Amino acid sequence: MGLKSALLAALLAALGATPAPASEDTGLASFYSGVPGPAGEFTAAHRSLPLGTRVRVTKIPSGRSVIVRINDRGPFVSGRIIDVSRRAADWLEMLDAGVVHVRVEVIDQAEHKPVRPHATE
């Protein structure tokens, strides 16, 4: 993260806002089997992208990629940017390695729908 980005993120955090997620990021990916929803789906966990967002995860340097839907929060391990489902990890050929370097690109970002309190009459 560059100095300007870090300063902007710090300013937004101080104001109580969170910066918009980047449309592309690189870093480490891992996989987990505890994905909510039907087994065998191409899904992933991401810390900040809205649930329902579709992203392309590309393994670097092989170029092998898969499109997954964000359906959970995480990863909660420092240095990792995304956790993919076991099926997506198998497609990316990362099961043996466990953790690989990837590029994550937003394909279709779901709209954030704020929770509205129930109206009382």
Q: Which residue has the higher pLDDT, 84 or 14?
A: 84
Range 32-42 average pLDDT: 72
What pLDDT digit, counting tens, does each position of 53-78 carry? Answer: 999 999 999 999 999 999 999 999 99
Residues 6+ apart with CB under 8 A from 74: 32, 45, 46, 47, 83
- Note the pLDDT of residue 113: 55
Query: Mean pLDDT in the chain?
Result: 81
- Note the pLDDT of residue 2: 58
Range 34-60 average pLDDT: 88
What pLDDT digit, counting tens, does each position of 7-16 carry? Answer: 445 544 554 4
Hey, what CATH topology would domain 21-108 get? Barwin-like endoglucanases (2.40.40)
- The rounded distance, in Å, linking the Cα atoms of 78 and 30 is 11
